[in-house]
Amino acid sequence: MTTPRILSCVALLVLTLRLTAAEPTVREINVRGLQTNGTTTVTVTGDDLGKTPKLLLPFPAKQALKPGNTDKLVVFEVTLEATTPGLHHLRIVTDGGVSLPTVIGVDALPQLPFAVKVETLPVALHGTLTGSAVLETTFTGKTGQKITVEVESQRLGGKLRPVIHLYNAKKLQIEWAWGKPALSGDTRLTATLPADGTYTVALHDAEYAGPAPGNFRLKIGDFAFVDQVFPPAIDKNRKTVELIGTRFEQVAVPNTKGTIVALPWPKDGSWTGPRPFVEYSTRQEFEEVNASAKPGKPQELPAGRIAVSGKLMGESEDRYSVAVIPNTKVRFEVFAERLGSHVDAALVIRNDMGATLAQAEDSPGTLDPVLEYTVPDKVTAITVCVIDSQKRGGARGHYRLTVDPLKGEGLGDFRLTTPLQRLSLPAGGKAVVPVFVERRGFVGKIDLLADGLPAGVKLEGATIAPDAEGALVTVTSTGEVPAGLLAWKGRSGPTEQPVTLKGHPLERLQPWLATEFAVAPTSAKTADFSIDWKSLPPGAGLSPGGKLALPVKLTRTDVASPVRLTLLTNQTTPVVNNQPVVANALRVERPTEFGAKVSEGDVPLLIPVDLPADAYQVAVLAELLSADKQRVLANAVTSVRTLPVKLPVAMKLASAKIDAKLDTKTGAMVEVKGAVERLNGFAGDIAVSLTGVPAGVPVPAPITVKAGETAFVFKLTLPVTTPLGDAKLKLSATAIDPKLPAVRVKGRDVEVTLNVIPPPK
């Protein structure tokens, strides 16, 4: 790896200790599906599969390990009873721990490896396709027979961009289909067969350059599916929703806990594909009304955090009059493509005459639009319109519009993620689970919990501080941990959010699987391989723009293998223009390894100039490598240390609020007074600047507070036309170090309120 190894870039961290057996690695599974009320043969190839591996599934199943298994290949016979169809995770558990999950399909279809001829329909054929290959299979059909052909690849974590063709016995094309956004890039066709005879299904990549992994699941026959749910989000009073797929059908909403509710399949039909779900909303939910009277008077919606679900019909435009507060910002967002809808939604804000004031279409990563709008002065309602840019619409053209008055810098909520999906714990061992928070205007601490935590396992440091970007949670066990599944969540007051694996292929299709976290025991002994801090002083801290050596020591019985060291931190890598900027993150100065027989040394830490939090957590992961450095034989992690940020300067203001009484002729003059404080050994000059002054007020030049001095004064001249009311002024102090002229380290900004008072009448 050529870039510095930092936690936020690591997707496969497994912070456990093992020497007797490594965690299993799965390279391929065939087949990637299980049949309900039937038996399926599943072949797994990989590494470190052990002598007696088991499948870890989220539902009851009878499994039998067939004779002749090796460390590289195992075969299971899996028998299911009446299991709910859908997409699920399959994992392998061995003495070394648990593998990463593989997405599989579960339904009533027979699950078979891909073959050039299908004997009986319906069927699900499993295989792999990469490069320019074209795969063909045949089946016998009858006149008038209805056939659906569907490919699942990207929904299973594959990268195939599938295109399918249906040919008759003369190799004339009857139907074809390519990837659809509503199917997450997968594809489906339906056809009525025109005559008795042999039919061919051909499958290839859209660019004849299929990337790996190219795994797919090709379903052929007469089966039922659901693509959309309307409305996609409801309040607790709603009892039914509509399933949109093979047909339109109302189903009851189960009375369950949680914000995401998996819906039941209709009783009749052979159902397959992702399981439908509905979201319990935390906002007021509305539905579009008077759909047949468009265009017409906009539907009125109240102020606050609300949402409205509707369906676009053809070239129609859905209009809503939304109550707003003057001089505030409101965020509008449409969910359509992300819900499986085929409309290409756009947002338009119009005035009373119908003229366009603002509009938005695609946003990063989706065709769905997002628009932040500043409400003009004296405006208490605006007209928000949802349209289909492609003018398709129809009964399947549904959408959900959300309205969020912005609080400060965001929505006032948060989202939690982790790069981990598994945890392998030895008896009496420990691990570290990083959890990161995306604060969307939310300020406050977040308590982390894990539902399904086994007995004897406890969490330490499971709190994200109010100004922190995340937490390194230490997980310890007192005995052997049973294999199972758990789900992490974060709670702050009444608000509760799940911890998800960002980028999981099922995050949008079956979001509860993106929260699924596996835990399993490992036969490793902590005495064989461990790492700890060597002599990190209690007063160690992070000096912005500087360096810090993190001293560590190893205890290991294997002294011949190299050890790779990786920095773990609760800081997320800063992002600029949707791109991570590693140079602005805590990071190692260079890749660090201890050679054979080396058990002590330093991890060189580079500290960026800008560190917004007051403290950051760090730990060091040690990975014992094989001689060729291609496999991790064991790993261990230090305890988590919290290091304070050591800023060189701070400011104190004489007053946090200043009144400016305007004179009818001369306006006003005020002074912003304060003092700087030099910290952590800094003794040089300090530049102080002031911004945020009201319109029409000259911006004062920065002041340099010389070494040995502390006081500063900004004089502001306010004209008579200065806007009345409060203005938030911001003061910034920057240390000037002559030894590091290119480095400018700022202290924490402080605010002062300038209250502009009108002249007396």
Query: Do 498 and 421 belong together in one domain?
Result: yes
pLDDT at 653: 94
Domain annotation covers residue 399: yes
How do beta strands 102-107 and 33-35 pair? parallel
For residue 317, the model assigns a pLDDT of 86
Is 594 within the bounds of a domain?
A: yes
Number of compact structural domains in the chain: 7
For every residue of 189-242, DSSP letters joined together read EEEE--SSEEEEEEEEETTS-BPSP-EEEEEEES-B-EEEEESSEE-TT--EEE
| Per-residue confidence (pLDDT) for residue 129, from 0 to 100 | 97
The pLDDT tens digits for 483-539 are 999 999 999 988 889 999 987 878 888 999 999 999 998 877 777 889 999 988 888
pLDDT at 21 over 80: no
Please indicate, yes or no, if residue 5 is contained in any of the structural domains: no
CATH of the domain at 633: 2.60.40.340
Q: Is the pLDDT of residue 12 over 60?
A: no
Q: What is the pLDDT of residues 597-631, one digit of tens each?
A: 999 999 999 999 999 999 999 999 998 888 888 87
Same domain, 292 and 330: yes
Q: 355 with 432, same domain?
A: no
Asked if the model's pLDDT at residue 245 lies above 80, the reply is yes
pLDDT band for 227, please (50, 70, 90 cuts): very high
> pLDDT grade, residue 411 (50/70/90)?
low
Quick one: average pLDDT of 453-481?
92
* pLDDT at residue 217 greater than cutoff 50: yes
Q: How far apart are CA 306 and CA 399, in angstroms?
A: 14
Of 198, 221, 222, 201, the residue nearest 141 (C-alpha): 198
Domain with 41 in it: what CATH number? 2.60.40.10
Instruction: Say if residue 212 is in the same domain as residue 230.
Output: no
Are 43 and 56 in contact by the 8 Å Cβ rule? The answer is no
Both 638 and 658 in one domain: the answer is no
Predicted confidence (pLDDT) at residue 410 exceeds the cutoff of 80: no
CA-to-CA dists, residue 660 to 691, 720, 755, angstroms:
17, 11, 6
Same domain, 533 and 637: yes
pLDDT of 408 reads 59
Verify that 548 and 508 share a domain, yes or no: no
Q: How confident is the model at residue 179 (pLDDT cuts 50, 70, 90)?
A: very high
Q: What's the pLDDT band for 750 if we cut at 50, 70, 90? A: very high
Shared domain check, 305 and 253: no
Average pLDDT, the chain: 90
What's the predicted TM-score (pTM) here? Answer: 0.86
Let me know if residue 741 belongs to a domain. Answer: yes
* 11 is a domain residue: no
Percent of the chain's residues with pLDDT above 70: 95
Classify residue 600: in a domain, yes or no.
Answer: yes
CATH value at residue 509: 2.60.40.2410
Same-domain status, 510 and 535 = no
Tell me: pLDDT of 165 over 90.
yes
pLDDT (tens digit, 9 = 90+) per residue, 265-281? Answer: 998 889 999 999 999 99
Same domain? For 697 and 591 the reply is no
**Confidence (pLDDT) at 755:** 95
Same structural domain, 580 and 640: yes
Using 50, 70 and 90 to split pLDDT, how confident is the model at 4?
Answer: very low
pLDDT at res. 133 = 97
Binning pLDDT at 50, 70 and 90, where does residue 442 land? Answer: confident
* Percent of the chain topping pLDDT 90: 69
pLDDT digits (tens, 9 = 90+) for 32-51: 999 999 999 999 999 999 99
CA distance 54 to 47: 14
User: Last residue of a domain, which of 519, 550, 582?
Assistant: 519
**Which domain-ending residue is among 500, 519, 538?**
519
What's the pLDDT at 172? 97
Of the listed ranges 181-195, 259-273, 432-446, 518-532, the one predicted with least confidence? 518-532
Strands (E), 231-316: 233-234, 240-245, 248-252, 260-262, 277-280, 284-287, 299-301, 306-313
The pLDDT, as a whole number, for residue 495 is 84
- Domain of 192: which CATH number? 2.60.120.380
Q: Give the pLDDT mean for 291-316.
A: 80
Asked if residue 409 has pLDDT above 70, the reply is no
Residue 179 lies in a domain: yes
What separation in angstroms does the CA of 408 have from each of 262, 272, 284, 441, 561?
A: 34, 45, 21, 6, 53
Position 433 scores a pLDDT of 93
Which backbone phi and psi does 271 adopt, to 5 degrees?
Answer: -90, 145
Helix, strand, coil distribution of the chain in percent, nearest 5? 5, 50, 45
Nearest to 232 by CA among 387, 385, 400: 400
What is residue 297's predicted lDDT score, i.e. its pLDDT? 83
Q: Tell whether 236 is covered by a domain.
A: yes
- What average pLDDT score do residues 688-699 get? 94
Domain boundary among 519, 548, 570: 519
Are residues 463 and 504 part of one domain?
yes
* pLDDT number for residue 659: 95
Q: What is the per-residue pLDDT for 351?
A: 83
Quote the domain boundaries for residue 195. Answer: 111-221
Torsion of CA 540, 541, 545, 551, to 10 degrees: 40
